[in-house]
Structure 1
């Protein structure tokens, strides 16, 4: 199950610098990877931007839908 992340802060270049998960604020300490996912058009998925980030002891995969007001979600978390 994917967790929605309504509170993600971006830097000027549009990369995540912090996010709230589990009632805690996590600061991004390293951007490990980023990519663009085209979405499965046959399922009416929107394209999205994806980031793999290090936030202290956590490694998180964050996704953002590419549409106005696009939602954020946590696709994967490893601690």
Structure 2
């Protein structure tokens, strides 16, 4: 997987990502392959986050959602 680290738009249903928009293209999430918590690098001021490994369209991608009000979604990595 290669690092991307770009903020993306994500639609959520029942607490799970269902669709992401990256580079102007929508990718429906077909399956959440894995889920985990990451505490964030507190020494850099990062918030804890939920991480999702998803199959979305032709992408296998890692999405991250920051905790808290206004938490952003990030596309952390995509399958090469």
Post-superposition, which runs of at least 4 consecutive aligned residues in structure 1 deviate over 2 A?
none
Instruction: Give unpaired runs (5+ residues) of structure 2.
Output: none
Q: CA deviation at 1:70?
A: 0.8
Q: CA deviation at 1:56?
A: 2.2
Q: 1:45 — aligned with what?
A: 46
Note if 1:34 corresponds to 2:35: yes
Q: CA deviation at 1:57?
A: 1.7
Give distance in 2, aligned partners of 1:20 and 1:53: 13
Note if 1:8 corresponds to 2:4: no
SS in 1 for 2:47: coil
Give distance in 2, aligned partners of 1:37 and 1:62: 12
Q: Size of the alignment, in residue pairs?
A: 77
Instruction: Give unpaired runs (5+ residues) of structure 1.
Output: none
Give distance in 1, aligned partners of 2:55 and 2:63: 11
